[in-house]
Amino acid sequence: MIRGVRGAITIHENTEEDIVKSTKLLLEEMISQNDLEPEYVSHIWFTATSDIDAVFPAKAVRSLEGWQFVPVMCAKEIDVKNSLPKCIRIMLQAEIDKAQKDVQHVYLRDAKQLRPDLVLTKKN
């Protein structure tokens, strides 16, 4: 079954190094928590708040061995008054043999406040 895996993380600085490093950290946690293999990933969408513009967050995928053929796309997160700043969000779609309720969504750093109802947000 194709399932969506969500994730989000905040960055410390709007620099290429911090954006790529933070995005990679989030991706690695999403991959680990859901036992994902690149061959079963349909595509990955990244969004970033308007205060992130030093590099495309999707660049982090290219640093993961075996993930170079996974299609990726970046977009700007819509500007919502009082929304969380410096935030990168991911929607990864993959073939996953888990019930939807068992998919592990990952929210790190200040992004934990986006979905405190999800189990994994309480672990990280």
Residues assigned a catalytic role:
6, 62, 74, 77, 89, 107, 115
Q: What token pair was written down for 2?
A: 């194709």
Strands in 11-120 per DSSP E: 41-48, 72-76, 87-95, 106-107
Annotated binding site, which residues? 6, 89, 107
> Which residue ranges are tagged as binding site for prephenate?
6, 89, 107
**Which is nearest to 11 in space by CA: 43, 45, 55?**
55
For residue 2, give the 3-state DSSP assignment.
strand
In sequence order, which ranges of 6-95 are alpha helices (DSSP H)? 16-34
Q: Which two tokens stand for residue 97?
A: 């043999």
CB atoms within 10 A of CB 101: 6
Q: How far is CA 72 from the centre of its chain?
A: 11
